[in-house]
Amino acid sequence: MATFKNAIINCQKCGKLIIVKSRDFEKGTIQCAHQNCGYVNKLTLEFYDDRILQGLPLFGQLVYVENPSLSYPLQMGVNTIGHSSSCTVHTERFIHDGKCYLSRRHCTIEVFFDQWTGLLRYILQDGALETESGQFKYSLNGTSIGSYFLKNGEKLDVPNKGLINLGGRDIFRLEVYEIPTAMLQSYKVSKLFDPDETQ
């Protein structure tokens, strides 16, 4: 067995720094000694290989609540939502009482794979980059999840079946893609703690 050198890691619960010594490495765990913590940190990492994404049929979709036959597939990465043809999620120009409340490039949903949980995450932000100017511009009428309006620059996770209200009039339901458990387990990786990858 190679000689272990002391290393510093972040506690998996409280996030504070912990010094790992050779005796901890041999046990395979270290208990956090910080006040009100006491969490037993494993010195092996389990995560899911992101190559699983290559075999997925879809990455979730937005369903227009007023007309559920209208659904918009999402892709990995940043999805720009609006009625501009330059949007990744190009919606219809919905008219209510003679007005459209949805901006051309209204908001973004970033879809990414969380390697620690094996779930796809969906992060919503009001506004989007303008294609012509490259400047970030917020929507005119706002974006909300349920009854909570996002503040400028704020990003929030959207849960499965979460209702996203664009402009105060157009509501979309997020339908996440759940990776089948058997498929997910085949991409699970266990890796021994490597002190050279610590701080």
Q: List pLDDT tens digits, range 113-165.
A: 998 889 999 999 999 998 888 899 999 999 999 999 999 999 999 999 999 99
> Nearest to residue 88, comparing CAs of 146, 42, 123, 131?
131
pLDDT of residue 21: 84
pLDDT of residue 192: 62
pLDDT of residue 199: 44
Mean pLDDT per segment of 10 residues, for the chain of length 199 residues? Answer: 71 89 82 93 83 93 96 96 94 89 93 92 95 90 94 95 94 96 91 56
Please state the pTM of the whole predicted model: 0.75
Residue 47, amino acid: F
Q: How far apart, in whole angstroms, are the C-alpha atoms of residue 96 and residue 20?
A: 61
> Nearest to residue 111, comparing CAs of 72, 146, 78, 158?
78
pLDDT of residue 4: 64
What mean pLDDT, rounded, does the chain reach? 89
Which tokens hold the place of 128?
Answer: 């989007």
pLDDT of residue 122: 98
pLDDT of residue 196: 54
pLDDT of residue 1: 44
| Region at 36 (left for phi over 0; alpha for psi -120 to 50; beta for the rest) | left
